[in-house]
Amino acid sequence: MGFLHSSAMFPVFLIFLFSFSWPITSSANSHEDFLRCLSSSLSSNDSSSISRLVYTQRSSNYTSVLESTIHNSRFITPTSHRPSVIVTPLHVSHVQATIRCSKKHGLQLRTRSGGHDFEGVSYVSEWEAPFVIVDLANLRSIDVDVENEVSWVQSGAIMGELYYAIAQKSRTLAFPGALCHGVAFGGFISSGGYGLLFRKYGLAADNVVDAEFLDVKGRILSRKSMGEDLFWAIRGGGGGSFGITLSWKVKLIRVPEMVTVFSTSRTLEQNATGLLHRWQYITNQFPDGMFPSITLTTTNTTVDDRNRTVVATFNTVYLGGANELVPLMQNVFPELESPPKIATK
C-alpha cells in the first residue's frame, strides 16, 4: 500500500493528502461497485442523503466540487485524469465506509482537507487507474479550551477559522500556524507546518498533543493507541501509508496583546543587492520572537514599460511593541537607513 504526501508549508501552502493504493481492479465498472458498496454501508438515514455526500462525473456539480480547491490551472485540462468519485463526508462513519469500499473494489484513495494544493497531488493521479477523493472540507469544527490552552481542530478547517475562534475567546492565546488564512489545517500539520511564529514556538506539528486517526482498516486511533512512531509520522514524518487524520488536538501558545509588523522596499538602484547580502548575515541576531523575511519582485521604472528593476521588500513580524522593535532594527540593521512603515496592533 503506497502513500504520497504533499507539503503544506510557507511560502507554498498546500493541503492534507493521504494516498492509499491497493491491488487495482481492471473492471470498468469498479466505481459503480464502489457506489453500491458505499450506499449499503451507510445507515438508512445517511443513505437518503447520499446525493449530498457523493459526486460522480455524471453529477451536475461534480466539476465545481472538484475544482473548488484547485489553484493551478495546469491540472484543469481536458486531458487531466479525474477522480471517478468525490466523497464529501459529514462524519467519521462516512470516511470509514469510503476506506472500506475503496479497498474492497480496488480503487485508489486520495484525501484532501479543503485548502489549496498547488502541486495537485491530492486530486491528480499519476496513473490511469480509477481513484476516489475524500474531501474533508465539511469536517471543520473547532473547539477552543481557553482554560487548558488547547484546541481540537478538524482537518477540513482552514487556518483563518482557527485564528478567529481563538481570538473570540482570548487576546493572548494563539497557534503557530500558517501565514495564509486559506490553508487547510490537516495539510499544514501533516507536512510539519511553519509560519510567522515558528522561530519561537517551533513547527505547528510540534504543538500537536493528540489526534483522531483512521487507519487502513477504518479503526479510530488516538495518540495512545497508535503509538509514538505513527504519531510522529503523521505530523510531517515524510509521508507513508498511514491513514486519515480527522482531527488534531493542539496546544495554544501565549503571545503579547501587542504585535508589530514593518515593511520597507528597496530597488536595485537603492542598493537592494547590498542590503539583501547584508540581511543574510544579521538575521540570526534577531530575537526568536521576530520573524524576518524578504520578498523579491519586479516593477516598471518607466511609464512605457521599457525598463524594469528588481524590488526587495523587507518584512518583519515582532511579538512586542514598536518602542522595542525600532531601536532593535537601528542597532542590528542600520543599513536600511530611513524608518520602515510600521504598524502595531
* pLDDT tens-place string over residues 201-234: 999 999 999 999 999 889 999 999 999 999 999 9
Taking each helix axis from N to C terminus, what angle separates 30-41 and 92-104, rounded to the nearest 10 degrees? 140
Name the most confidently modeled range: 12-16, 181-185, 222-226, 257-261. Answer: 222-226
Question: In the prediction, which pLDDT does 343 show?
Answer: 60
Question: In the prediction, which pLDDT does 304 show?
Answer: 62
Cα–Cα distance between 192 and 103 in angstroms, integer? 28
Question: In the prediction, which pLDDT does 78 show?
Answer: 77
List the grid coordinates of 264: 520597507
Cα–Cα distance between 57 and 59 in angstroms, integer? 6
The dotted CATH code for 142-254 is 3.30.465.10
* pLDDT tens-place string over residues 94-116: 999 999 998 888 888 888 887 77
Question: In the prediction, which pLDDT does 62 show?
Answer: 86
- Comparing 13-17, 179-183, 234-238, which segment has the lowest mean pLDDT? 13-17
**Per-domain boundaries in the chain:** 18-138, 142-254, 260-344
Q: What percent of the chain has pLDDT over 70?
A: 81
Question: Does the structure show a pLDDT above 60 at 1?
Answer: no
Question: Does the structure show a pLDDT above 80 at 126?
Answer: no
* pLDDT tens-place string over residues 15-69: 344 445 545 444 456 778 888 888 888 765 565 567 788 998 888 888 888 888 8
Question: In the prediction, which pLDDT does 259 show?
Answer: 92
Listed in sequence order, the residues at least 6 apart from 110 whose beta carbon sits closer than 8 Å to its beta carbon are: 17, 18, 19, 20, 83, 121, 122, 123, 125, 131, 132, 133, 134
- Which of the following CATH numbers is that of domain 18-138: 3.40.50.720, 3.30.43.10, 3.30.300.30, 3.40.50.300? 3.30.43.10
Cα–Cα distance between 27 and 152 in angstroms, integer? 41
Over the chain, what HEC string results? CCCCCCCCCCCCCCCCCEEECCCCCCCCCHHHHHHHHHHHHCCHHHHCCHHHCEEECCCCCHHHHHHHHECCHHHCCCCCCCCCEEECCCCHHHHHHHHHHHHHCCCEEEEECCCCECCCCCCCCCCCCCEEEEEHHHCCCEEEECCCCEEEEECCCEHHHHHHHHHCCCCCEECCCCCCCCCEHHHHHHCCCCCCCHHHHCCHHHHEEEEEEECCCCCEECHHHHCHHHHHHCCCCCCCCCCEEEEEEEECEECCCCCEEEEEEEEHHHCHHHHHHHHHHHHHHCCCCEEEEEEEEEEECCCCCCCEEEEEEEEEEECCCHHHHHHHHHHHCHHHCCCCEEEEC
The class of domain 260-344 in CATH terms is: alpha beta
Q: What percent of the chain has pLDDT over 90?
A: 50
For range 6-12, the mean pLDDT:
34
Question: In the prediction, which pLDDT does 26 show?
Answer: 47
Label residue 145 by pLDDT band (50, 70, 90).
very high
- Beta partners for residue 151, in sequence order: 144, 250
For range 259-265, the mean pLDDT:
92
- Beta partners for residue 20, in sequence order: 109
